Amino acid sequence: MTEPLAEHANILFDIFVMLAAAKLFDELCQRLKQPTVVGGIFAGFLIGPSVLGWVAPSAGSSMLAEIGVVILMFSVGLETKLSTILSVGRTALAVAVLGVVVPFAAGWWLLRFIGESQAEALFVGTAMVATSVGITAHVLAEMGVLATRSARIILGAAVIDDVLGLLLLAAVSSAAEGPLDWAAVGSTAAAAIAFVIVIAALGPWVVARTMPFVQRQRAAGWVFSSSLVLCFALAAAADHAGVASIVGAFLAGMALAEFTSGDPALHRQMHTVGELLVPFFLVTIGMQLKLDVFAQPETLWLAGVLTLLAIAGKLVGCGVAALHYGWREAVRVGVGMVPRGEVGIIVAQIGLAAGIVSQSLFGAVLVMVIVTTVIAPPALKPLFRNVAH
């Protein structure tokens, strides 16, 4: 019965601790009427290097986190039909564009205001931009409000936002290396936009034509397995096309949504897989929260102002774009777009490596990413209570 893989002993222990902590804090959140997301992130903070030090971020844990968020966004896609996104397409586009422009301008202005260089201001502006929709999607799915208009606007805007953030990153990175290479930025743009449009348009059509064939096969579990295959295929392809893997996973789910809406078995199976894998995504976010950044008062001030601007930027930018649906809906959309993801950290890291962004500014960006991620879920929950349309 022996298959000892000594080098993996740690990951088994890590999985045990991460799952146990996530479940305990999930229970706590249920009792305090808070979303599960908060519990998962707090569990990660507690078991991570900052507090107990039981588990540290590793290649293994970040791989499980990546698979977890891919599964999460695929499940959200499964409950999202393309037609319902297109019905709010114009608003989603406006939300995405203003949600990029306003935070970028705010970040750029702050850095110029405190006397930093043009290059540093451009990098920080870019780090303020990209929405991390995984957190919001988890809260909305948990509350069963993915079909509301606000949720559809958020999901549509997040896909567009991702493409815009990517272009900004390409432009700023190439600017950091020398004069701006418009051809490279243009080809990045073309690949990303083409990927999203082609997959969104052709996906449901291809699925509708291949699924009857899949269902005729003899081995058990073909629908489940081929759904997972599509999910990981498009996640990998999205990454290859320069878009985030979770955009590919979301589009894969959306391609299947039309076909599988009458198939409760697939939804139940994805729910089970998500219960195992999504906690790794949440816990890993919490593990990255380090306390030592709070030791320097200067960094703390900068982090505080940056975080306030990051929140206000999305609230105002996205909110204004959705204001024609009334101010309640504007606030819902604005808050849903607040969480920033790893792309902010990655942008800051590129700037740090290029010697443009300082260590203390990098710490401030880290704080901004974590705080925007942590505060959105408790704010979202009351906003989406009793929402019918």
Shortest distance (Å) from residue 344 CB to its own copies: 9
**Closer CB to its own copies, 192 or 302, in the complex:** 192
Question: Distance between CA atoms of 384 and 35, rounded to whole angstroms?
Answer: 12
**Closer CB to its own copies, 217 or 261, in the complex:** 217
Shortest distance (Å) from residue 56 CB to its own copies: 15
Give the DSSP letter string of 57-76.
--HHHHHHHHHHHHHHHHHH
Shortest distance (Å) from residue 63 CB to its own copies: 6
**Closer CB to its own copies, 26 or 120, in the complex:** 26
Shortest distance (Å) from residue 258 CB to its own copies: 21
CB distance 278 to 223 below 8 Å? no
Instruction: Copy the structure tokens of residue 365.
Output: 């960006």
**Residue in 266, 357, 280, 217 with CA at minimum distance from that of residue 74:** 266
**Closer CB to its own copies, 30 or 359, in the complex:** 30
Instruction: Copy the structure tokens of residue 120.
Output: 């540093």
**Closer CB to its own copies, 84 or 227, in the complex:** 227
Shortest distance (Å) from residue 298 CB to its own copies: 29
Shortest distance (Å) from residue 60 CB to its own copies: 6
**Closer CB to its own copies, 74 or 299, in the complex:** 74
Give the DSSP letter string of 356-371.
-S-HHHHHHHHHHHHH
Question: Which distant-in-sequence residues (6+ apart) come within 8 Å of 152 by Cβ?
Answer: 80, 84, 85, 87, 88, 92, 146
Residue that has been written with the tokens 């297109």 in this structure: 86
**Residue in 123, 154, 2 with CA at minimum distance from that of residue 146:** 154
Question: Degrees (nearest 5) of the Cα angle 181, 306, 53?
Answer: 100
